[in-house]
Amino acid sequence: MRYDVVGLGIASLDLIGVTEEQPLFGAKQSLTGWHEMGGGPVATALATLARMGARVAMTGAVGNDGYGQRILADLQTVGIDTQAMHVRPGTSHVSFVLAEPGRDRRTVWWHNDPTVLEQVPLEHELIRSARALLIDTHMPQVALHAARTMQATGGLVMIDAERVREHTLELLPLCNLIVVSAEFARQATGVVEPWEAARVLHSRYEEQLVIVTCGAEGSWCANKGELFHTPAFEIEPLDTTGAGDVFHGALLYALLRDDPIRLAIRFASAAAALSCQGLGGRGNLPTVSEVEALLEPA
Amino acid sequence: MRYDVVGLGIASLDLIGVTEEQPLFGAKQSLTGWHEMGGGPVATALATLARMGARVAMTGAVGNDGYGQRILADLQTVGIDTQAMHVRPGTSHVSFVLAEPGRDRRTVWWHNDPTVLEQVPLEHELIRSARALLIDTHMPQVALHAARTMQATGGLVMIDAERVREHTLELLPLCNLIVVSAEFARQATGVVEPWEAARVLHSRYEEQLVIVTCGAEGSWCANKGELFHTPAFEIEPLDTTGAGDVFHGALLYALLRDDPIRLAIRFASAAAALSCQGLGGRGNLPTVSEVEALLEPA
């Protein structure tokens, strides 16, 4: 196999402003830090995989603006093959993230041009050359085709879903690994309790592993008729941006090296915790040995 | 004279996010627009003057990062001579502006590296080659020297002051035109009512013209022992960012072509109103004929 994981989704640029004061609307306030960093759920999961030594490629599109060039350069810097990334007319996906380290609160205002992501050509050969496919919910039509191609190849398909969008629910039956936020699980099932939502989703798609992530509350996994909870690692978070994306990347890494599922989730959980000690989604992507040090302190 | 106006102050890059929804902290919200625009009080005032046909130059500094290059390119695009702008190690002045057109509210989070503005060499010849000098409060030491040089030359010195900072009050006696926000007037005098604050400031610096700007409430001018109010033009504002800076630029334009003071303030007020119909400080810089059309409808 040429790649361990191919990702299909949005790659964005996050502008992260750090404030020490209580932010107020209608005011003019100074920031103590300003950072520019690549973002996007799939892109950050791939960056995590690359950091751990996996061979990864991304397909998707950026706009033909200055942001697009910076997004591509950033993907390459973190070790993601971008040959299947397209540059299309329009503006790229950008976000301003207001990070409040002391309060562990973040606010995100994002903007994109949806036409940039329309009719992105699918590279079937690229999908077939990988052991796993990671998709998000931003390009559902292409993701459907990609998931079918990967399913036919016999590889793993993992979805990272934050919100239920158009066609999102059509994607779920094609995924082996449904790893979603508590908010998504609630929207998709109508059930409020994450553990129950995990069970409902699993009962719908019996062959699939379902994980509902709940931030500092850990995660619930429903797999082969079994339901279990994995606590989050206790850390002093600097910024939880992207922790879920790092969880996805690390989980896929662990599963591809054949970790048993409970161990794989603990591995992902430790990686996500470590990522919260840096700013933004990629400010502290951990290596495998850093994750293992947290899992088994010397 | 080589230039009509030389400006000394900060030039920044504003990233403007436009939201139609009620913004919330701790949430992830989409923006309906994202714009990049040069900003900074002096820079926007100079851009206004250039738009009206004045010959303008700016002196100050930007950081040696990508933002600095974009700031300089933007100044040049709007017609400002940047030969006296310095590029220094550090990060440039950047802001994220959250604009809420329906509610006419804006929130600004800004970041800069103060060392970039330290020890910027002063170009005395440049100052002497202009009819007027416009300063802000961000580089008080250099501004003091520049104002003294201009005073010796016999040209006009105008200050754009938003807040009382270190050494700001030392600058005031050197300025012929003290045009400040109501907030600044309150801080500098301890007096809450803008009209009274204008009178107090004028009594302190008797030779100077004092204008206290109050947004939609118009402005108060104290000049030669006289106090008068000029109402703002009634407009449906899209974004009031930079309206005060446009006021400064247009006022200087009108005074340099020898408009009587009351007419000059009406001219500035009309220009500021028109600028509120575009996004950001420079989204709708009016031409002289556009301002005159508002002043004297056909």
Average pLDDT over residues B1-18: 94
How far apart, in whole angstroms, are the C-alpha atoms of residue A52 and residue B176? Answer: 64
Please give the DSSP secondary-structure letter assigned to residue A125: H
Q: Cβ separation of A98 and B23 shorter than 8 Å?
A: no
Domain count, chain A: 1
CB of A35 within 8 Å of a chain B CB? The answer is: no
Q: Cβ separation of B17 and A107 shorter than 8 Å?
A: no
A26: β partners: none
Could you tell me if A209 and A246 are in contact, meaning their C-beta atoms sit under 8 angstroms apart? no
The pLDDT value recorded for residue B255 is 97
**Chain A neighbours among B 207-266 (CB < 8 Å)?**
none
User: Which of A24, A33, A94 lies at the smallest CB-CB distance from B34?
Assistant: A94
Q: Containing domain of residue A168, as a range?
A: 3-11+40-91+122-295
CA distances, A158 to each of A84, A137, A175, A219, A280 (Å): 19, 11, 6, 16, 23
Could you tell me if B78 and B38 are in contact, meaning their C-beta atoms sit under 8 angstroms apart? yes
Q: Cβ separation of A109 and B30 shorter than 8 Å?
A: yes
Q: Could you tell me how far CA B231 lies from the centroid of its own chain? A: 19
Strands A130-135 and A3-8: parallel
The pLDDT value recorded for residue A152 is 95
Average pLDDT over residues B64-77: 94
**B32 belongs to a structural domain:** no
The pLDDT value recorded for residue B164 is 85
CA distances, A145 to each of A150, A160, A176 (Å): 9, 16, 15
Q: How confident is the model at residue B241 (pLDDT cuts 50, 70, 90)?
A: confident
CB of A31 within 8 Å of a chain B CB? The answer is: yes
Q: What is the DSSP string of A196-231?
A: HHHHHHHHHSTTSEEEEE-GGG-EEEEETTEEEEEP
Q: Could you tell me how far CA B76 lies from the centroid of its own chain? A: 17
CA proximity to B33, closest of B45, B22, B20, B43: B20
CB of B19 within 8 Å of a chain A CB? The answer is: yes
Strands A94-100 and A105-111: antiparallel
**A260 belongs to a structural domain:** yes
The pLDDT value recorded for residue B282 is 81
Contacts of A106 in chain B (CB under 8 A): 26
Amino acid at B173: P
Average pLDDT over residues B154-167: 89
B258: β partners: none
Contacts of B15 in chain A (CB under 8 A): 15, 96
Helix, strand, or coil (residue A43): helix
Token pair of A243, please? 């922790």
Q: What is the percent of chain B where pLDDT is above 90?
A: 79
Q: pLDDT tens digit string along B27-48?
A: 999 999 999 999 999 999 999 9
The pLDDT value recorded for residue B129 is 96
CB of A102 within 8 Å of a chain B CB? The answer is: no
Could you tell me if A245 and A44 are in contact, meaning their C-beta atoms sit under 8 angstroms apart? yes
**A25 belongs to a structural domain:** no
For an interface test with A, give the residue of B34, B65, B74, B91 to mutate (most A CBs within 10 A). B34
Q: How confident is the model at residue B283 (pLDDT cuts 50, 70, 90)?
A: confident
Q: pLDDT tens digit string along A23-78?
A: 999 999 999 999 999 999 999 999 999 999 999 999 999 999 989 999 999 999 99
CB of A91 within 8 Å of a chain B CB? The answer is: yes
**CATH code for position B46:** 3.40.1190.20
The pLDDT value recorded for residue A33 is 93
H or E, element range at A13? strand A12-18
Predicted ipTM?
0.83
CB of A27 within 8 Å of a chain B CB? The answer is: yes
Q: pLDDT tens digit string along B161-205?
A: 888 888 888 999 999 999 999 999 999 999 999 999 999 999 998
The pLDDT value recorded for residue B46 is 97
CA proximity to A29, closest of B43, B113, B110: B110
The pLDDT value recorded for residue B166 is 81
pLDDT at B238 over 80: no
Average pLDDT over residues B115-121: 89
- Phi then psi for residue B227, to 5 deg, are -125, 130
Please give the DSSP secondary-structure letter assigned to residue A237: -
The pLDDT value recorded for residue B284 is 86
| Per-residue pLDDT tens digits of chain A, which is 298 residues long | 799 999 999 999 999 999 999 999 999 999 999 999 999 999 999 999 999 999 999 999 999 998 999 999 999 999 999 999 999 999 999 999 999 877 778 899 999 998 999 888 988 999 999 999 999 988 889 999 999 999 999 999 999 988 888 888 899 999 999 999 999 999 999 999 999 999 999 999 888 999 999 988 999 999 998 999 999 998 887 777 788 999 999 999 999 999 999 999 999 999 999 998 887 778 889 999 999 999 987 7
**A117 belongs to a structural domain:** no
The pLDDT value recorded for residue A205 is 86
The angle subtended at Cα B213 by Cα B208 and Cα B218, nearest 5°, is: 120
User: Which of B25, B70, B106 lies at the smallest CB-CB distance from A23?
Assistant: B25
The pLDDT value recorded for residue A241 is 75
Amino acid at B115: T
**What b/e sequence results for A121-156 when a residue is b if at least 16 CB atoms lie within 10 Å of its CB, and e otherwise?**
ebbeebbbbbbbbbbbbbbbebbbbbbebbbebebb
Token pair of B24, please? 């919330």
Could you tell me if A11 and B93 are in contact, meaning their C-beta atoms sit under 8 angstroms apart? no
Q: Is the dihedral of CA B127, B132, B138, B144 positive or negative?
A: positive
CA proximity to A130, closest of A48, A80, A56: A56
The pLDDT value recorded for residue A282 is 81
How far apart, in whole angstroms, are the C-alpha atoms of residue B216 and residue A16? Answer: 33
The pLDDT value recorded for residue A236 is 81
Could you tell me if B251 and B268 are in contact, meaning their C-beta atoms sit under 8 angstroms apart? yes
How far apart, in whole angstroms, are the C-alpha atoms of residue A89 and residue A188? Answer: 33
**B31 belongs to a structural domain:** no
CB atoms within 10 A of CB B285: 23
pLDDT at B298 over 80: no
**A106 belongs to a structural domain:** no
CA distances, A53 to each of A4, A82, A281, A289 (Å): 10, 17, 18, 11
**A87 belongs to a structural domain:** yes
**A140 belongs to a structural domain:** yes
Average pLDDT over residues B126-133: 97
Closest CA in chain B for residue A104: B26
Q: What is the DSSP string of chain B?
A: --EEEEEES--EEEEEEE-SSPP-TT-EEE-SEEEEEEE-HHHHHHHHHHHTT--EEEEEEEESSHHHHHHHHHHHHTTEEEEEEEEESSPPPEEEEEEEGGGTEEEEEEE--GGGGTTPPP-HHHHHTEEEEEE-SSSHHHHHHHHHHHHHHT-EEEEEESS--TTHHHHGGG-SEEEEEHHHHHHHHS--SHHHHHHHHHHHSTTSEEEEE-GGG-EEEEETTEEEEEPPP----S--TTHHHHHHHHHHHHHHTT--HHHHHHHHHHHHHHHTTSSTTTTTPPPHHHHHHHHS--
How far apart, in whole angstroms, are the C-alpha atoms of residue B98 and residue A92? Answer: 18
Q: How confident is the model at residue B286 (pLDDT cuts 50, 70, 90)?
A: very high
Least confident of A208-222, A279-293, B86-100, B129-143: A279-293
CA proximity to B104, closest of B294, B295, B276: B276
How far apart, in whole angstroms, are the C-alpha atoms of residue B212 and residue B185? Answer: 7
Could you tell me if B202 and B210 are in contact, meaning their C-beta atoms sit under 8 angstroms apart? yes
| Residue with the two structure tokens 């920044």 | B12
Average pLDDT over residues B218-241: 90
State in Å, rounded, how far the first CA of chain B is from the last one. Answer: 35
